[in-house]
Structure 1
C-alpha cells in the first residue's frame, strides 16, 4: 500500500504547474497590446488628436516593451 504522506522524489512530468498556462497567455497578450497601442499612437500623431492621447498610448507601448523584456529574462532557459 502506498504511503499517502510520502513526497515523491521525482516530479510527475505529466503534471503541469498552474502558472504555466498563464505564461502561455501573457506573452501573446503583451504582443497584441503592444502592436495595437503602437498603431494607435501613430494614428493619434497623424490625425492631430490631443497630445495627452498620444502620450497615453506611448506609455502603454513602453510598458508592454518593458514587460516583454522582463518576461523574457525571467523565463529563459
Structure 2
C-alpha cells in the first residue's frame, strides 16, 4: 500500500522546486506581453504571452493554497 506521508512529501518537494521557475516565467511573460502589445503593436504574440502569464499565475495561486 502507498505511504501517503511519503507521497505528500515528494509532491511538496517537487512543487517547491518549481516555484522559482514559475515566478521567473511569470515575470518574463508579463514583460514580453507588455512589450509586444504596446511597443511593437503585435497583439497576437502579446496575447500568447498574456495567456502564459495567466497560466503561471493560476499555477502559483493553486500551489500556494494547497501548501499553506
The answer to whether TM tops 0.5 is: yes
**Secondary structure, counterpart of 2:62 in structure 1:** helix
Structure 2: unaligned runs, 5 residues or longer: none
Structure 2 residue 58 is matched with structure 1 residue 62 = no
2:17 maps to which residue? 25
Q: Residues of 1 paired with 2:27 and 2:45: CA distance?
A: 16
TM-score after normalising by structure 1: 0.68
Offset at 1:22?
1.2
Q: Residues of 2 paired with 1:48 and 1:35: CA distance?
A: 19
TM-score after normalising by structure 2: 0.76
Structure 1: unaligned runs, 5 residues or longer: 1-10, 12-16
Number of aligned positions between the proteins: 61
More helix by proportion, 1 or 2? 2
- Give the alignment's Cα RMSD to 1 decimal: 1.7
